[in-house]
Amino acid sequence: MRLLSVYLLPCLFALLGMASASLADSSAPELQVRIGYLAYTPPSGPLLSNVIPEPEDAGRRGAELAIVDSNSTGRFLKHAYSLEVVERDDGASLVAAAEALHAQGVRLFVVNAPAATLKQLSARLGDSLLFNAGSADDSLRQSQCLGNVLHSLPSRAMLADALAQFLAVRKWTRWLLISGATADDQAYAAALRRAAKRFGLQIVAQKAWSFDNDQRRSAQAEMPLFTQTAEYDVVLVADERGDFGEYLPYQTWYPRPVAGTQGLTPTGWHKSVETFGAAQLQKRFEAHAQRWMNDRDFAAWIAVRSIASAVTRLRQADAAAIRQLALSDQLPLDGFKGRKLSYRPWNGQLRQPIPLVQPRALVSTSPQEGFLHPNSELDSLGYDAPEVSCQMTAAP
Amino acid sequence: MRIALLALGIGLTLASTASKAATAYVSNEKDDSISVINLDSLEITDTLAVGMRPRGLLLSSDHKLLYICASDSDRVQVMDLASRKIVKELPSGADPEQFALHPNDRWLYISNEDDALATVVDTQTDEVLAQIDVGVEPEGMAVSPDGKWAVNTSETTNMLHWIDTSTQQLVDNTLVDQRPRFVEFDPDGTRLWASAEIGGTVTVIDVASRQVLKTLSFQIKGVHPDKVQPVGVRLSADGKLAFVALGPANHVAVLDAKTYEILDYLLVGRRVWHMAFTPDQKRLLTTNGVSGDVSVIDVDSLKVSKSIKVGRYPWGVVVTP
């Protein structure tokens, strides 16, 4: 019912439209800021748990809302933001379309694509500034930094650290780690192993889900036997696609919670985030997209907001100048997460608190109390400066 | 806020003649209630049920009526303080959060957070006089002591919007730091103080020229700069002191309002939101959202003398003589 009432607020945007019409000076804007939104989301393949589909416009809707939000400031400053949306079914044609935009003069991009495509875009759009709102890949933040890319989506390492801190606080120190077969699942599992080591937690057993077991039984029926190992406090699951992980909760051999990609999940954004003004962002998004805002939407939203915050400060939209300001500590960003957000100068990752959620509630937010850091507790999540082996020196 | 200060003259004379204790009213955002505090005994004497998610509070100039932003009920409620009953509900627009009363005691300027609007309501006829397009997430609202200006802050647009009250038109905008939450005029109306929660600053603006005079920032030993998130601002009636509530830094900054020198940081409860002076200006009350209490600051000694448990997530506070 509450959602319904939210959907009945299309007046918000009608009013914003009217506002821009009535308030903007009749003269043309002095600064046009064109932002390219580049999306390629590979299909995930057949899934066991395919009942609830993921939104296909995740990311784009967040970028669109941020354009509306940014034009609210822009109309007073005579800055006009616009989004050029390019969505393709394969990486190569996305790169080609991005180059066409680049030829038209676009130098600011939000990218929702896998790491390999992002790397190609970074190389082809050399003098541009790209915001990675689609890949959680750790190597992009640790060993293969791209000088012209900032990351607004949290890395897998940040997510895993956020979860591990909470499990450490709860003293759930013995983990059973179950991972799927894809490269993404392996990467998520690797991030969990790193987090376990960092925070002194113990992986008592690791199992790979290949589902080459008895095909006459359902996954649900298989899980109790599959999770019969040395005793654990919690089951950690690495199944990014949502293939089998949904069947783990309540089916474990020991009566223990499930966390990771299913169960208690670390994420950049979720419907249950409501404090620090987040409720207003959620309402605006739901009125705009007719659905809940997810982590991709938030990453694309904060990417565009990062650009707009920098443009408001600089009064110009030069990609190199925006990059320089974003990597200094002089651009506090409002992400409705209770603290100002900023980009780490050593790898371009957006520092941010990570909500830990279950499907209908916020369980906790990391960093957890007591995990200290000499500069910012937010840097207890993900790769810290001394752990990074690449240089961010290359300017766009 | 300004009304409380404006009414201070009257308040002081009343206080000297009446023996009745001053009373504080605190809105509890997550309890849908108002806590009533007797300021002689510093105890809760009553808890009043009101609309959903009560936040901004203000008083009529005669202190007889309490205006309440019941945000989730989408209305402004009017409570008669003699009977402590809701006597009227004003059409406020959606999700009212903060508001300000014009010195004519009739025009109520309301921020509609979800609609990017400011609504002006006549409190006597209940008519909506105007709806003014402002930035996204309008929040803070103040009317200048001379009644000429209503100033609204917008949290996502990061601006102050200057509304000419004679025409109810938006005439100017001032860019400030990220997420401006609250505005407060000097007692003499020459300067405007605006807090920016994410920017971590307070901007002081010359009202005549609408130009920025000074941007203040705060550093508290042992508190990470990210946690310094200024919200409420209060100026003493004599124009000497400024108090800034610093949110999750759990401190109130005390400044010399003329030189902008920071005199002290006072430790209060957790996530301090808003503040109100007692009529004699000797004490300042703060609402502490997360710890669910009200801190009492002794203004002469700049010491926190007491904390009073109220409801869940206390937000606004006003004091009657």
* Domain of residue A247, CATH code: 3.40.50.2300
Q: What is the CATH number of the domain that holds B221?
A: 2.130.10.10
**Min Cα–Cα distance to chain B from A3, Å:** 14
What is the C-alpha to C-alpha distance for residues B105 and B198, in angstroms, rounded to an integer?
Answer: 33
Task: Mark whether A62 and A211 lie in a shared domain.
Answer: no
Which B-chain residues 150-189 have CB contacts (< 8 A) with chain A?
Answer: 154-159, 170, 173, 175, 177-179
Compare all CA atoms of chain B with the CA of A14 and give the residue at the minimum distance: B115
Residue B69 has pLDDT above 90, yes or no: yes
CB environment A21-44: b (16+ within 10 A), e (fewer): eebbeeeebeeebbbbbbbbbeee
What total number of domains does chain A contain? Answer: 2
Compare all CA atoms of chain A with the CA of B153 and give the residue at the minimum distance: A73
- Report chain B's mean pLDDT, rounded to a whole number: 92
Q: Is B290 on the interface with A (CB under 8 A)?
A: no
Task: Mark whether A278 and A365 lie in a shared domain.
Answer: yes
- Is the preceding peptide bond at A249 cis, omega within 30 degrees of 0? no
pLDDT of amino acid A394: 54
pLDDT of amino acid A48: 76
What is the C-alpha to C-alpha distance for residues B209 and B212, in angstroms, rounded to an integer?
Answer: 9
Task: Mark whether A91 and A130 lie in a shared domain.
Answer: yes
Query: Are B198 and A334 a contacting pair at CB < 8 A?
Result: yes
Is residue A396 one of the residues assigned to a domain? no
Domain-ending residue, one of A238, A265, A292: A265
Segment B139-151 mean pLDDT? 96
Domain-ending residue, one of A265, A298, A329: A265
Could you tell me the two tokens for B183? 């505005």
Is residue A394 one of the residues assigned to a domain? no
Residue B114 has pLDDT above 90, yes or no: no
Task: Mark whether A278 and A355 lie in a shared domain.
Answer: yes
Cβ(B243)–Cβ(B253) under 8 Å? yes
Task: Mark whether A8 and A21 lie in a shared domain.
Answer: yes
Task: Mark whether A20 and A149 lie in a shared domain.
Answer: yes
Task: Mark whether A130 and A275 lie in a shared domain.
Answer: yes
Domain-ending residue, one of A205, A238, A265: A265
Query: Are B198 and A312 a contacting pair at CB < 8 A?
Result: no
Task: Mark whether A21 and A47 lie in a shared domain.
Answer: yes
Determine phi and psi for B151, rounding to 5 degrees. Answer: -120, 130
What is the C-alpha to C-alpha distance for residues A255 and A232, in angstroms, rounded to an integer?
Answer: 10
pLDDT of amino acid B303: 97
Task: Mark whether A124 and A15 lie in a shared domain.
Answer: yes
Residue B20 has pLDDT above 80, yes or no: no
Is residue A256 one of the residues assigned to a domain? yes
pLDDT of amino acid A215: 60
Best A15, A25, A70, A73 residue to mutate vs chain B (most B CBs within 10 Å): A73
pLDDT of amino acid B4: 52
Q: What is the pTM of this model?
A: 0.84
Task: Mark whether A203 and A333 lie in a shared domain.
Answer: no
Query: Are A284 and B159 a contacting pair at CB < 8 A?
Result: no
Could you tell me the two tokens for B222? 């042992």
Is residue A392 one of the residues assigned to a domain? no
Lowest mean pLDDT segment, chosen from A22-26, B45-49, B92-96, B158-162: A22-26
Is residue A333 one of the residues assigned to a domain? yes
Q: In what order do the strands lie in the sheet with A361-366?
A: A265-266, A354-358, A361-366
Q: Can you say how many angstroms the Cα of residue A390 is from the centroid of all Cα atoms in its chain?
A: 22
Is residue A393 one of the residues assigned to a domain? no
Which A-chain residues 289-318 have CB contacts (< 8 A) with chain B?
Answer: 309, 312
Is residue A215 one of the residues assigned to a domain? yes
Residue B245 has pLDDT above 70, yes or no: yes
Q: What string of pLDDT tens digits covers the 396 residues of chain A?
A: 344 444 444 444 444 444 444 444 445 788 999 999 999 999 887 777 777 788 999 999 999 999 999 998 888 889 999 999 999 999 999 999 999 999 999 999 999 999 999 999 999 999 999 999 999 999 999 999 999 999 999 999 999 999 999 999 999 999 999 999 999 999 999 999 999 999 999 999 999 998 766 566 677 888 999 999 999 999 999 999 998 999 999 999 999 999 999 999 999 999 999 888 898 899 999 999 999 999 999 999 999 999 999 999 999 999 999 999 999 988 989 999 988 899 999 999 999 999 999 999 999 999 999 999 988 999 999 999 999 998 886 544
Q: Is A334 on the interface with B (CB under 8 A)?
A: yes
Cβ(A337)–Cβ(A353) under 8 Å? yes
Residues of the domain holding B179:
2-320
- 3-class SS of residue A286: helix
Residue B6 has pLDDT above 70, yes or no: no
Residues of the domain holding A202:
158-265
Q: Which residues of B touch A284 (CB under 8 A)?
A: 114, 136
Cβ(B26)–Cβ(B316) under 8 Å? yes
Determine phi and psi for A224, rounding to 5 degrees. Answer: -60, -45
Is residue A310 one of the residues assigned to a domain? yes
Cβ(A86)–Cβ(A95) under 8 Å? no
What total number of domains does chain B contain? Answer: 1
Task: Mark whether A167 and A253 lie in a shared domain.
Answer: yes
**Min Cα–Cα distance to chain A from B182, Å:** 14
pLDDT of amino acid A275: 85
Query: Are B227 and A309 a contacting pair at CB < 8 A?
Result: no
Task: Mark whether A147 and A176 lie in a shared domain.
Answer: no
